Every structure is written in structure tokens, then in C-alpha cells.
């Protein structure tokens, strides 16, 4: 079984939770892509759902597979959010933002009654932090925020993709921050939230109901 097979298996389990009439959060990343494609297959067979996408790329994919797109203005409370993650620790705190969509992903997760995360086994860790924490910042604040997070013990770099400074869907920058292993994700999340210029960070704390893990052809779950 490849990592993609495991991602698809996890995605299938999450999509099985979807019922007629639901308004869904649609995540971003390679695992969420499987979920959106599988939802599209169910929509073609008659499933009635609506989706709020967490990125421009997910919106494009969702439209292409026939999922009706709505906004949080129309539906501020979502039934279920299905998204991926970069790291998951035992109390279901996450690092997200590897795909640069953490801001909309966190807004959509917050808006959702239930958040289900789909990953392959490699995303499970004892402590967060091997995956460098993505932080979305307003470009104007870059020097200040880098100085502040570096003072907090991080090594931070502005994300570059394909030789260009990466811009999020909101035209912000991402700082990828190496804090080492994060002993207290809640405390770090609170500190980061106090720094002006940080729009959002990729620590998702107490937001998740269930993590579905694909591992070597089997599915297991972590719940709160
Ligand atoms: C995007 C994300 C993704 O959920 C995360 O990066 C996981 O992606 P993948 O499923 O491709 O490993 O947070 O901002």
C-alpha cells in the first residue's frame, strides 16, 4: 500500500460520515483532494451537499466534480469539516498549513460542528514540531514578527515556492518556524496570537473531534 492509498482510505472513511443535506468544510492538500473527489462521486449518484472550500485550489476542484459551493456568509455554521494535517499528536492538537491554507482552514474548522482530520500514519507524532510551524503574516510585519518569533527561540524563514516568495490566497506571507519539539502547544498558540502582524498560526488546538488514519490498507481512529 502506498501513502496515497492510505490517504484515500482515510478520505473514504470520512466521506462515509457525510449525509444528505450537510454543509461541509472542504479541506486543502493532497489528502483532502481525495475526499473532495470521493464526495464528487457521491454527488454524481445523488448526494445533496454544499461545500465551503478552504482554498482557491479546493474551490476549483470541488466545482469541477460538481459540489455546489457556498460561503460562510450564507452558512456560518457548518455540519462537518474534512481536512488533512501535517502533524497530529495524541491529544489531537495539530500542525496545519503545509499547503499554505491554514487561515481559511482554521476559520472553517471553527465554523464547523464537527472536524474530522484525515491522514496517513506518518503524520502521527508524540510531540509536534518536527514539521516547522507555518505562520501566516501580513507582509508589512515580516521583520517585526521574525524578530519576535526568533526571540521566542524559533528559527524562521519566509516560505519560497518555485523560486518565488509564496503568497497565500489572502496575499499574505508564510513564515515556516522551527521551534524544535513543542512541549506546550497551547501556551505557544496563545503567545503567537498576541503578536500583531500574525494573521493566524498553524497550531489547531481543541478543534478536532476525530482523526482518521490510513495505515497499510487499514483504517484506525483517534478520538477525544
Ligand atoms: C494545507 C494543510 C494540509 O491539510 C496539510 O498540509 C496536509 O496536506 P497533505 O494532505 O498534502 O499532506 O494544512 O494548508
DSSP-based three-state secondary structure for 209 = coil
Q: Compute φ and ψ for 158, nearest 5 degrees.
A: -75, 130
What lies within 8 Å, CB to CB, of 110 at 6+ separation is: 207
DSSP-based three-state secondary structure for 85 = coil
CB atoms within 10 A of CB 66: 13
Give the largest Cα separation in the chain, rounded: 54
Name the residue at shortest CA distance from atom 5 of ligand 1.
85
Query: Is residue 214 within 6 Å of ligand 1 at its C-beta?
Result: no
Q: Which atom of ligand 1 is nearest to the CA of 30?
A: 11
Q: How many angstroms separate the CA atoms of 13 and 175, rounded?
A: 33
The DSSP symbol for 123 reads G
Long-range pairs of 35-38 with CB within 8 A, sequence gap ≥ 24: 35/11, 35/82, 35/118, 36/61, 36/62, 36/65, 36/67, 37/61, 37/65, 38/8, 38/11, 38/12
Among 188, 210, 49, 199, residue whose Cα is nearest residue 116 = 210
Query: Is residue 118 within 6 Å of ligand 1 at its C-beta?
Result: no
Query: Is residue 97 within 6 Å of ligand 1 at its C-beta?
Result: yes
Mean pLDDT by 10 residues, the chain (224 residues): 92 98 98 98 98 98 98 98 98 98 98 98 98 98 98 97 97 98 98 98 97 96 92
Q: How many angstroms separate the CA atoms of 212 and 224, rounded?
A: 12
CB atoms within 10 A of CB 177: 24
pLDDT for position 55: 98
pLDDT for position 197: 98
Task: Sketch out the chain's domains with CATH numbers.
Answer: 3-123+205-214 (3.40.50.1360), 133-200 (3.30.70.260)
Strand order of the β-sheet with 198-201 is 155-158, 173-178, 133-137, 198-201
Query: Is residue 87 within 6 Å of ligand 1 at its C-beta?
Result: no
Distance 202 CA to ligand 1 centre (A): 11
pLDDT for position 1: 78
What lies within 8 Å, CB to CB, of 96 at 6+ separation is: 83, 84, 85, 86, 102, 105, 106, 134, 202, 204
Give just the sign of the alpha carbon dihedral 173, 176, 177, 183. positive
Amino acid at each position: 500500500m502506498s501513502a496515497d492509498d492510505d490517504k484515500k482510505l482515510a478520505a473514504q472513511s470520512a466521506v462515509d460520515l457525510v449525509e444528505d443535506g450537510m454543509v461541509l468544510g472542504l479541506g486543502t492538500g493532497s489528502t483532502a483532494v481525495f475526499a473532495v473527489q470521493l464526495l464528487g462521486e457521491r454527488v454524481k449518484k445523488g448526494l445533496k451537499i454544499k461545500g465551503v472550500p478552504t482554498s482557491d485550489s479546493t474551490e476549483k476542484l470541488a466545482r469541477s466534480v460538481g459540489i455546489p459551493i457556498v460561503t460562510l456568509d450564507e452558512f456560518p455554521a457548518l455540519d462537518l469539516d474534512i481536512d488533512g494535517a501535517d502533524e497530529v499528536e495524541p491529544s489531537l492538537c495539530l500542525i496545519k498549513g503545509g499547503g499554505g491554507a491554514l487561515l481559511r482552514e482554521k476559520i472553517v474548522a471553527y465554523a464547523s460542528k464537527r472536524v474530522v482530520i484525515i491522514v496517513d500514519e506518518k503524520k502521527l507524532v508524540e510531540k509536534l514540531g518536527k514539521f516547522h510551524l507555518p505562520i501566516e503574516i501580513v507582509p508589512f510585519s515580516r521583520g517585526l514578527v521574525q524578530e519576535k518569533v526568533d526571540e521566542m527561540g524559533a528559527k524562521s524563514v519566509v516560505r519560497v515556492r518555485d523560486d518565488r516568495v509564496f503568497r497565500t490566497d489572502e496575499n499574505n506571507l508564510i513564515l515556516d518556524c522551527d521551534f524544535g519539539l513543542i512541549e506546550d502547544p497551547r501556551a505557544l498558540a496563545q503567545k503567537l496570537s498576541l503578536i500583531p502582524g500574525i494573521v493566524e498560526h498553524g497550531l489547531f488546538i481543541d478543534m478536532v473531534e476525530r482523526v482518521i488514519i490510513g495505515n497499510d490498507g487499514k483504517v484506525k481512529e483517534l478520538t477525544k
